[in-house]
Amino acid sequence: MLPIELKLLLLIIIANGAPVVAAAVCGAWGNHPVDGGRALADGRRWLGDSKTWRGVIAAALAAGLGAVLFGLSAWIGGVIGMAAMIGDLLSSFVKRRLGVPTSGMALGLDQIPEALLPLLAVAGEFALTWPAIGGTVAGFIVLELTLSPFFYWLGVRNRPY
């Protein structure tokens, strides 16, 4: 039996990987930007073309299915998937304001919100401590940075980060 922190880490990885897999599998189908192509007064997009409704939905569904496979409720998985995508959208918004191009790398900003927000969303349900949350976020950062080049090599990701 897996410890809850490991199950949550795996669900966060599933949630964050689902949009990339969905894009590779679906191509242009469902490729509708969350921001609708809108820009702020600074002329920069809210989020960019890579943040799609397809990805948000894929994350929630994949994490929900993963949760069931790990013996957790689909609802918990859906919450983790949605919170991971909210973290991803938040980091994209901040990156656009900082002038980082769409799909550009911003170490920490690309990983922490999409791992931290899901853990905070379910912390009460699983009585997660701050050390457990911090360790799980650190584990996500290490795995994200390790697995991304591998998925690039497989042709699933467009960039090696």
Structure tokens at 104: 């550009």
Q: Is residue 97 part of a domain?
A: yes
Range of the domain at 58: 4-150
Query: Total domain count for the chain?
Result: 1
Q: How far is CA 129 from CA 76, 83, 96, 124, 150, in A?
A: 18, 18, 32, 9, 32
Q: Is residue 40 part of a domain?
A: yes
Global confidence as pTM? 0.91
Q: Is residue 156 part of a domain?
A: no
Nearest C-alpha neighbor of 143 from the set 3, 23, 2, 16? 16
Q: Is residue 33 part of a domain?
A: yes
Q: Is residue 158 part of a domain?
A: no
DSSP letters spanning the chain: ---HHHHHHHHHHHHHHHHHHHHHHHTTTT--BTTTT-B-TTS-BSS-TT-BHHHHHHHHHHHHHHHHHTTS-HHHHHHHHHHHHHHHHHHHHHHHHHTPPTT---TTTTTHHHHHHHHHHHHHHHT--HHHHHHHHHHHHHHHHHHHHHHHHHTSSSS--
Q: Is residue 160 part of a domain?
A: no
Q: Is residue 64 part of a domain?
A: yes
Q: Is residue 157 part of a domain?
A: no
Per-residue pLDDT of the chain (161 residues; tens, 9 = 90+): 889 999 999 999 999 999 989 988 888 888 899 999 999 998 899 998 889 999 999 999 999 999 999 999 999 999 999 999 999 999 999 999 998 877 778 888 989 999 999 999 999 999 999 999 999 999 999 999 998 888 788 877 777 77
